Structure 1
Amino acid sequence: MFTKYKIILVEDDLDFASILKRFLESNGFEVTWATNGADALVLFQNDSFDLCISDVMMPVMDGFTLAEKIIEKHPEMYFVFLSAKQLPADKIKGLQLGADDYIVKPFDTNELLLRIKNILKRKEKLDFSTHKQIQIGSFCFDAKRSILYNNSYKYQLTEKENFLLAYLIANKNQLVKRQDILIAIWKSNDFFSGRSMDVYLSKIRKYFASDPKIKLESIRNIGLELKEVHEKE
């Protein structure tokens, strides 16, 4: 269920990170490892990730600073902090930064796995009860109010458009199968549902037409990919 997800692990303890990386990969995740926050920030400029697992105390750039910089550009990013610091104030600071969890070392890897899976379940459901807005290119997507807007345009989305766009953004920069989208949103993958989805996809392409950094690409008979292209700094 979770094999499609990409995790970036930021940890300066080489032995611990190597073991944790192998454990996560053995459970189906694709894992990229950085030894400090600065290196992780470079990786974020050239790739996309679904979840960041970061130590707090690291050389060059600590985990809290890394989170601040990443969330500024990618407010939809999911974060888990790992730390030997047990003071309540440290945990509160991590959660205030927007972290989804804060786990104190040492910990059971199976517990970490369960926490990760719970976070990703929330990601898949895309809880619309939150007021959190997601930035994509020049646009801001407000799922709570079913609005997609930027400085020049504002689109009031229908319910189906809202769910379809939310699903695509949740799987941004990943190839998703047509049948998976149809089952998730239309509850059917028959011919008529497929034609209906194509109509809504056409509308979403028109909404993003003014932003060259956003592409909704179709791969015939396979699936779709919503791409957000970042300029290399």
Structure 2
Amino acid sequence: MAELKVKILLAEDDPNFGIVLRDYLELHDYDVTLCNDGCKGNAAFRKGTFDLCILDVMMPEKDGFTLAREIKKLNPNVPLIFLTAKTLKEDMLEGFKIGADDYITKPFDSEVLLCKIHAILNRSANNANSKPATSEFRIGQYLFRPKLRILARQGHEQKLSPKEAELLHMLCLHLNDVLPREEALHQIWHEDSYFTARSMDVYIAKLRKYLKEDAAVEIINIHGQGYRLCVHNTAPY
């Protein structure tokens, strides 16, 4: 059976450059979908499944940053590379805050882009393999099922909201260790700002309320770093 090609979404409004880059990537065995504006890029991402997105920052209809935020809401784990003719520090910081894996300034060496794509895809695959999907977590007296968004204790089930479930899931993956504040904000809210940070504090308070019946379980605020879900005096599971 033939090996499946890596699928790349390329959003680039310059028709000549877009076609040349698409053909170059396809020459190196990538399956590339080319869109010439952000709205078409969003529609293509919703229709297909992509392993990587390469987005031009300045595009008509919808810019690359806006498209990236929409993509991250649909799939927080998909890798992103931004292309831009601008070298402003503020733009680069904005791209990385959204969740970019790399930021490349035009003009660039095509071989360098290939190396960056290869490195990002390898890193993404290694991260996926190092964190196998877990169908449920034991948190003291509680049983948490992330996919069903259910937190259960002694026959009582609490249905969590999507963000509550995502946040508790991340805390479980860092059980008894620190979940960095920035990591949670970028993964769940796709933005690290004063308002999203306050929103996360509200969700942490809700999770503390749900877990309060077991005195051995607590979520600790690690000042300047993040949060730590601790289970005290319990055997490892």
| Coarse TM-score class (shorter-chain normalised) | 0.5 to 0.7
Per-residue deviation, residues 160-213 of structure 1 (Å, max 9, x unmatched): xxxxxxxxxxxxxxxxxxxxxxxxxxxxxxxxxxxxxxxxxxxxxxxxxxxxxx
Alignment of 1:9 with 2:10, yes or no, is: yes
TM-score (norm: length of structure 1) = 0.56
Query: Which amino acid in structure 2 is aligned with residue 97 of structure 1?
Result: I
Asked if the contact 1:8–1:31 (Cα under 8 Å) also holds between the matched residues in 2, the reply is yes
Aligned to 1:22: 23
Length, aligned pairs only: 144
1:4 CA drift (Å): 2.3
Q: In 1, Cα distance between the equivalents of 2:110 and 2:16?
A: 15
Q: Map of 1:117-136 to 2, 5 A cutoff?
A: 117-126=118-127
| Distance 1:63-1:140 versus aligned 2 partners, 3 A rule | farther
Query: Which amino acid in structure 1 is aligned with residue 50 of structure 2?
Result: F
Aligned to 2:149: 151
1:47 CA drift (Å): 0.7
Larger Rg: 2
| Distance 1:124-1:14 versus aligned 2 partners, 3 A rule | same
Q: In 2, Cα distance between the equivalents of 1:110 and 1:41?
A: 27
Aligned to 1:109: 110
1:104 CA drift (Å): 0.5
Q: Map of 1:172-211 to 2, 5 A cutoff?
A: none
Structure 1 residue matching 2:83: 3-state secondary structure? strand
Aligned to 1:43: 44
Query: Which amino acid in structure 2 is aligned with residue 93 of structure 1?
Result: E
Query: Which amino acid in structure 2 is aligned with residue 69 of structure 1?
Result: E
Structure 2 residue matching 1:93: 3-state secondary structure? helix
| Distance 1:3-1:113 versus aligned 2 partners, 3 A rule | farther
Structure 2 residue matching 1:149: 3-state secondary structure? coil
Q: In 2, Cα distance between the equivalents of 1:141 and 1:31?
A: 36
Gaps of 5+ in 1: 155-233
Query: Which amino acid in structure 2 is aligned with residue 4 of structure 1?
Result: K
1:96 CA drift (Å): 0.6
1:124 CA drift (Å): 1.4
Aligned to 1:91: 92
1:149 CA drift (Å): 3.4
TM-score (norm: length of structure 2) = 0.55
Asked if the contact 1:3–1:28 (Cα under 8 Å) also holds between the matched residues in 2, the reply is no
Identity fraction in percent: 40
| Distance 1:73-1:19 versus aligned 2 partners, 3 A rule | same
Asked if the contact 1:57–1:63 (Cα under 8 Å) also holds between the matched residues in 2, the reply is yes
Gaps of 5+ in 2: 138-143, 153-237
1:150 CA drift (Å): 3.2
Aligned to 1:64: 65
1:77 CA drift (Å): 1.1
Q: In 1, Cα distance between the equivalents of 2:81 and 2:34?
A: 14
